[in-house]
Amino acid sequence: MRGGGLLVAGTTSDAGKSVVTAGICRWLVRQGVKVAPFKGQNMSLNSFVTREGAEIGRAQAMQAQAARVEPTALMNPVLLKPGGDRSSQVVLMGKPVGEMSARGYHGGRQQTLFEPVLACLEELRATHDAVICEGAGSPAEINLRRTDIVNMGIARAARLPVVVVGDIDRGGVFAQFFGTTALLAPEDQELIAGYLVNKFRGDVTLLEPGLDMLHGLTGRRTFGVLPYTHGLGIDEEDGLRVSLRGTVRESVVAPPLGADVLRVAVCAVPLMSNFTDVDALAAEPGVIVRFVDRPEELADADLVVVPGTRGTVKALAWLRERGLADALARRAAEGRPVLGICGGFQVLGEHIEDEVESRAGAVEALGLLPVRVRFAREKTLARPAGEALGERVEGYEIHHGVADVRGGEPFLDGCRVGAVWGTHWHGSLESDGFRRAFLREVAAAAGRAFVPAPDTSFGTLREEQLDRLGDLIEEHADTDALLRLVEEGAPKGLPFVPPGAP
Region of 409 on the Ramachandran plot (φ > 0 left; ψ -120 to 50 alpha; else beta): beta
For 219-235, the DSSP string reads S-EEEEEEEP-S---PP
CA distances to 86, 149, 184, 195, 396 from 39, in Å: 22, 10, 20, 19, 21
415 catalytic per annotation: no
128, 399, 426, 476: which is the annotated catalytic residue? 426
- Tell me how long the chain is: 502
Rounded CA-CA distance 323/177 in Å is 45
Cis peptide before 499 (omega within 30 of 0): yes
Using the 8-state DSSP alphabet, how is residue 107 labeled? I
The values of phi and psi at residue 339, to 5°, are -125, 125
CA atoms within 13 A on the CB side of 396: 20
Residue 28: name the closest of 488, 496, 499, 474 by CA: 474
- Catalytic residue chosen out of the listed positions 342, 400, 415, 476: 342
Sort 422 into a burial class: Cβ within 10 Å, 0-12 / 13-18 / 19+.
buried
CA distance 119 to 315: 38
Alpha helical stretches, state H, 190-298:
208-218, 279-282
For the question of residue 342 being annotated catalytic, the response is: yes
- Amino acid identity for residue 271 in this structure: L
Q: Give every CB contact of residue 14 below 8 A, 6+ residues apart in sequence.
A: 167, 238, 241
* Phi, psi values for residue 198, rounded to 5°: -120, 150
Are the beta carbons of 368 and 325 closer than 8 angstroms? Answer: no
- Rounded Cα gap, residues 472 and 26, in angstroms: 10
Q: Name residues whose C-beta falls within 8 Å of residue 318's C-beta, 6 or more positions apart in sequence.
A: 269, 270, 324
Inter-residue contact 99 to 89 (CB < 8 Å): yes
Kindly report the backbone phi and psi dihedral angles of residue 481, in degrees, each rounded to the nearest multiple of 5, phi listed first. Answer: -70, -40
Q: How far is CA 36 from the centre of its chain?
A: 17
Active site residues: 342, 426
